[in-house]
Structure 1
């Protein structure tokens, strides 16, 4: 199974380093020196990580064969993709990979159907479940313990306890205009991969999603 583990950002310095938007909770495993990663678009890769370091809170990588700023700039916005065993699971039973959560049914504690998870959006502040409702509309559910009370992979469902207003029309509008505003404009390129296309992402927020 292929999972997106990072997106390449801007060039850093003049020696070929790039900033990286990490989309995995295991950067030391997925993005360590020597790792060979596929790319989206595929023609840009594969890329072999030569060095990695943290600078001012951001991961910087240098790839084999990239030695100057021009080469680094040419990689901007490329997605880095790791091949993993689909049977691989996080060590912590309270953590989940994105592919485990996709298509889970979302229900209330009393069994009332809310919809189905069609996407997981990784924002700087938190993760969101994008849930398609039976009528085709979408609602955003923050993936935090206070709201998502249970993930049952055997039953293929996520149980939620939403606060008043979260899953009505007003909440959908608020959710669309809230956390997304916190995303730096530079980190959301117009030509990024559309939701639902390309490989799944491998990421996790503090509340348990990988």
Structure 2
């Protein structure tokens, strides 16, 4: 069995109707799986209350969900703003796609040298950026195959092409 990580898959929005339904602001690429009837999510924190999905449906582009034990609007409204966490398998969902949680903390190597560790991922419309933290500061590395040809989750190492200037400190702003 593959190792798992905890990830946020959505945040509860406002109550919808009178029968305990809530809207969900999605953070998952797999809403039909994460919010299927019977799916169990955790509320707020990794050790938060377990919420079992009773029903879910799409209303236009809005996901509407009902959880067991939340049968009226007043009770459902108490969930508003709650992050919903799920346990997912670490690794690739599709070739080249990784959960942020699987990448954060991995060593970054380039030219045979340890350059730092991945601190976070910035999701931009054009491409994702790895935020690599080192003793010299933070460096942004475009997360594209041409620059990051190897992501080895088993060894905890990401290989980055040895590109001059990529891991050098930013030039001083003095004298400008």
For the criterion TM > 0.5, the same-fold answer is: yes
Aligned residue pairs: how many? Answer: 165
Residue 67 of structure 1: how far off its partner (Å): 3.4
- Per the alignment, residue 141 of structure 1 pairs with 141
User: Is 1:105 aligned to 2:107, yes or no?
Assistant: yes
User: Is 1:4 aligned to 2:15, yes or no?
Assistant: no
Residue 116 of structure 1: how far off its partner (Å): 0.3
Cα distance in 1 between the residues matched to 2:24 and 2:142: 24
Relative distance call for 1:28 and 1:159 in structure 2 (3 A) is same
Computed over aligned residues only, the root mean square deviation of the Cα atoms, in angstroms, reads 3.4
Structure with greater Cα Rg = 2
**Secondary structure in 1 aligned to 2:74?**
helix
- Per the alignment, residue 197 of structure 1 pairs with none
- Per the alignment, residue 25 of structure 2 pairs with 21
**Secondary structure in 2 aligned to 1:148?**
coil
Instruction: Give the stretch that moved more between structures: 91-100 or 23-32.
Output: 91-100
**5+ residue gaps in structure 1?**
171-210
TM normalised by structure 1 equals: 0.60
Cα distance in 1 between the residues matched to 2:23 and 2:8: 14
Residue 132 of structure 1: how far off its partner (Å): 1.3
Deviations 1:161-201 (A, max 9, x none): 5988765548xxxxxxxxxxxxxxxxxxxxxxxxxxxxxxx
User: Is 1:33 aligned to 2:34, yes or no?
Assistant: no
Point out which structure has higher relative CO (alpha carbons under 8 A, 6+ apart): 1
TM normalised by structure 2 equals: 0.68
Cα distance in 2 between the residues matched to 1:142 and 1:128: 4
**5+ residue gaps in structure 2?**
172-176
The answer to which structure has the higher helix fraction is: 1
> 8 Å contact 2:46–2:85 — kept in the other structure?
no
- Per the alignment, residue 178 of structure 1 pairs with none
Relative distance call for 1:149 and 1:43 in structure 2 (3 A) is closer
- Per the alignment, residue 53 of structure 1 pairs with 57
> 8 Å contact 2:9–2:34 — kept in the other structure?
no
Relative distance call for 1:134 and 1:12 in structure 2 (3 A) is same
Cα distance in 1 between the residues matched to 2:64 and 2:163: 39
Residue 76 of structure 1: how far off its partner (Å): 2.1
